């Protein structure tokens, strides 16, 4: 530009460039690639979850010809190892070094809270495609923090009534001793007590340990009407197998949040049959939207079957697309970007959902049952459930 000495010459150059299909300077800046930081587990017990979320997100982008709001995407990827202690540093790297425009992550509630802290400090847009930590859309809620998955409480609150309505009035809850397990336990306990049930024992082990035998022996000795569990990924497959091996299958009915049986049916085989869970998705959901999504996912990923994690990643892409379209790719129009995301109605494979004021999905929770290789949807356990978002005030 320094060689362009008068206004007329400048306009001629701009005109020529625009006619040639290249935008003038302000638009050029907008159309640099959108920098997306994927911070997810790619190793450890949640590795498959991180991969499914990545696949889902990229499918949503690919369906938009690789562009959101007119901008191509550049991905920056970090394996967070589901390690909360490393979360602030890993997030910092994406924000400071890679200068991402948006953070997408993560699976583990403890890691999410580290990301939330940095997102609040830096103002970076954060979209959580799994981890359900209540605080992220509770006391730590913020205009730039969104979730496309669930709060931990949401996934088990509806389950209590399901059990009580069947006359199963006592239960033992088995889970990992960290935010996700503890909050799912609390959600179940609340719903169960309201419906007349009583949680008689909490059995916890450190994440990501899988030595379930002593806990199963203790659960059996209590003789509850039901056992309820939260485990996920590799840990869930092992728990289902151990439950059957301990002779409990068929003796004490097993329930859980749907993570217990999502993405693990190949690994768990017969041990998973008949297990019933509540979740905001079911791979057996037979709607045109879900069927189309599942076909597209299989086509893109060598016949791999999508699970709830893939859906949540996909929906993170849809939510970001809604925001980016509204500002035509100009992320500096942050208020408008956020406002568009807040009012988006996401046409999800799980069924359409909208966001609560705290930026967490308001959505149906299904009752599912494992039949063969499918989480078959048996009905809706709770319609349009919103997290209570205690402690959230948007500033
Ligand atoms: C969590 O840590 O919030 C979490 C992890 C895995 C799941 C669900 C929740 O499947």
Task: For residue 367, tell me if it sits in a domain.
Answer: no
8 pLDDT above the threshold of 60: no
Residues 141 and 221 in one domain: no
CB proximity list for 225: less than 8 A, separation 6 or greater? 163, 167, 168, 169, 170, 171, 252, 253
Residues 125 and 163 in one domain: no
Q: Average per-residue pLDDT in the chain?
A: 93
**Index of the ligand 1 atom closest to the CA of residue 133:** 3
11 pLDDT above the threshold of 70: no
Q: Which residues pair with 226 in a beta bridge?
A: 171
108 CB near ligand 1 (under 6 Å)? yes
> How buried is 28 (Cβ within 10 angstroms: 0-12 exposed, 13-18 middle, 19+ buried)?
exposed
Placement of tokens 């045109």 in the chain: 288
Residues 159 and 268 in one domain: yes
Boundary-marking domain end, from 244, 260, 279: 279
Question: Of 74, 78, 94, whose CA–CA distance to 39 is shortest?
Answer: 78
Q: What is the pLDDT of residue 6?
A: 38
Q: How confident is the model at residue 16 (pLDDT cuts 50, 70, 90)?
A: very low
Q: What is the pLDDT of residue 45?
A: 96
Q: What is the pLDDT of residue 31?
A: 73
Q: How confident is the model at residue 350 (pLDDT cuts 50, 70, 90)?
A: very high
**Index of the ligand 1 atom closest to the CA of residue 262:** 10
Residues 271 and 301 in one domain: no
pLDDT in tens, 144-193: 999 999 999 999 999 999 999 999 999 999 999 999 999 999 999 999 99
Centroid of ligand 1 to alpha carbon of 107 (angstroms):
6
Q: What is the pLDDT of residue 175?
A: 99
Boundary-marking domain end, from 241, 263, 279: 279
**Index of the ligand 1 atom closest to the CA of residue 110:** 2
pLDDT in tens, 256-273: 999 999 999 999 999 999
Q: What is the pLDDT of residue 4?
A: 35
**pTM, rounded to two decimals:** 0.93
- Best residue among 80, 182, 232, 360 to mutate for probing ligand 1's pocket (most ligand atoms within 8 Å of CB) is 232
CATH number of the domain to which 210 belongs: 3.40.50.2300
Q: What is the pLDDT of residue 10?
A: 37
Task: For residue 9, tell me if it sits in a domain.
Answer: no
Task: For residue 183, tell me if it sits in a domain.
Answer: yes
**Index of the ligand 1 atom closest to the CA of residue 131:** 3
Task: For residue 388, tell me if it sits in a domain.
Answer: no
Residues 87 and 66 in one domain: yes
132 CB near ligand 1 (under 6 Å)? yes
Residues 199 and 257 in one domain: yes
Mean pLDDT on 215-238: 98
Task: For residue 12, tell me if it sits in a domain.
Answer: no
Residues 101 and 219 in one domain: no
342 pLDDT above the threshold of 70: yes
Residues 206 and 232 in one domain: yes
Task: For residue 391, tell me if it sits in a domain.
Answer: no
Contact 381, 162 (CB under 8 A): yes
Residues 143 and 64 in one domain: yes
**Residue of the nearest CA to atom 3 in ligand 1?**
131
Could you give the strand order of the β-sheet that contains 102-104, starting from the edge strand earlier in sequence? Answer: 67-68, 71-79, 34-40, 102-104, 125-128, 145-147
Task: For residue 379, tell me if it sits in a domain.
Answer: no
Residues 146 and 185 in one domain: no
Q: Is 328 left (phi over 0), alpha (psi -120 to 50) or beta?
A: left
Q: How confident is the model at residue 27 (pLDDT cuts 50, 70, 90)?
A: low
Q: What is the pLDDT of residue 18?
A: 40
Boundary-marking domain end, from 263, 279, 295: 279
CB proximity list for 69: less than 8 A, separation 6 or greater? 34, 321, 323, 324, 325, 326, 327, 328, 329, 330
17 pLDDT above the threshold of 70: no
Provide the domain limits for residue 236: 153-279
CB proximity list for 38: less than 8 A, separation 6 or greater? 54, 57, 75, 76, 77, 78, 104, 105
Structural domain count, the chain: 2
The token pair that represents 215 in the structure block: 């806990």
Task: For residue 377, tell me if it sits in a domain.
Answer: no
Mean pLDDT on 48-52: 98
375 CB near ligand 1 (under 6 Å)? no
- Residue 367 has φ and ψ, to the nearest 5°, of -95, 125
**Residue of the nearest CA to atom 5 in ligand 1?**
108
Centroid of ligand 1 to alpha carbon of 153 (angstroms):
11
pLDDT in tens, 71-130: 999 999 999 999 999 999 999 999 999 999 999 999 999 999 999 999 999 999 999 999
pLDDT in tens, 275-284: 999 999 999 9
Mean pLDDT on 33-39: 98
- Percent of the chain scoring above 70 in pLDDT: 92
Q: What is the CA radius of gyration of the chain?
A: 23
232 CB near ligand 1 (under 6 Å)? yes
pLDDT in tens, 301-320: 999 999 999 999 999 999 99
Contact 275, 375 (CB under 8 A): no
Residues 143 and 162 in one domain: no
94 CB near ligand 1 (under 6 Å)? no
Three-state DSSP state, 196:
coil
Centroid of ligand 1 to alpha carbon of 206 (angstroms):
14
- Best residue among 47, 50, 132 to mutate for probing ligand 1's pocket (most ligand atoms within 8 Å of CB) is 132
Residues 145 and 294 in one domain: yes
Centroid of ligand 1 to alpha carbon of 231 (angstroms):
8
- Residue 126 has φ and ψ, to the nearest 5°, of -125, 130
131 CB near ligand 1 (under 6 Å)? yes
């Amino acid at each position: 530009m320094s060689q362009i000495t008068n206004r007329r010459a400048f306009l001629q150059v701009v005109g020529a460039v625009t006619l040639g299909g290249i935008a003038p300077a302000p638009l050029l800046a907008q159309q640099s690639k959108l920098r997306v930081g994927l911070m997810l587990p790619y190793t450890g017990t949640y590795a498959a979850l991180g991969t499914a979320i990545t696949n889902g997100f990229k499918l949503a982008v690919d369906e938009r010809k690789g562009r959101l709001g007119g901008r191509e995407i550049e991905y920056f990827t970090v394996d967070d190892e589901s390690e909360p202690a490393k979360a602030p540093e890993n997030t910092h790297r994406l924000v400071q070094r890679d200068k991402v425009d948006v953070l997408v992550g993560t699976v583990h509630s403890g890691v999410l809270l580290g990301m939330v802290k940095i997102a609040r400090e830096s103002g970076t847009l954060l979209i959580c495609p799994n981890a359900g930590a209540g605080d992220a859309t509770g006391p730590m809620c913020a205009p730039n923090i969104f979730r496309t998955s669930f709060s931990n409480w949401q996934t088990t609150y509806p389950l209590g009534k399901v059990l009580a309505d069947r006359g199963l009035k006592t239960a033992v809850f088995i889970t990992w001793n960290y935010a996700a397990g503890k909050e799912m336990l609390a959600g179940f306990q609340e719903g169960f007590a309201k419906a007349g049930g009583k949680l008689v024992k909490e059995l916890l082990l450190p994440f990501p340990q899988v030595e379930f035998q002593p806990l199963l022996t203790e659960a059996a000795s209590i003789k509850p009407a039901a056992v309820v569990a939260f485990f996920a990924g590799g840990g869930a497959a092992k728990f289902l197998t151990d439950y059957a091996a301990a002779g409990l299958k068929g003796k004490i009915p097993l329930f859980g949040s749907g993570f217990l049986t999502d993405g693990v049916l190949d690994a768990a085989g017969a041990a998973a049959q008949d297990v019933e869970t509540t979740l905001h998705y079911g791979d057996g959901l037979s709607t045109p939207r879900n069927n189309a999504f599942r076909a597209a996912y299989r086509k893109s990923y060598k016949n791999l079957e999508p699970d709830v994690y893939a859906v949540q990643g996909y929906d993170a892409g849809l939510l970001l697309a809604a925001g980016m379209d509204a500002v035509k790719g100009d992320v500096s129009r942050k208020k408008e970007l956020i406002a568009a995301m807040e009012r988006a109605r996401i046409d999800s494979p799980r069924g359409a959902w909208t966001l609560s004021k705290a930026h967490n999905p308001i959505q149906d929770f299904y009752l599912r049952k494992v039949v063969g290789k499918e989480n078959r949807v048996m009905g809706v356990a709770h319609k349009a459930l919103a997290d209570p978002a205690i402690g959230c005030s948007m500033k």
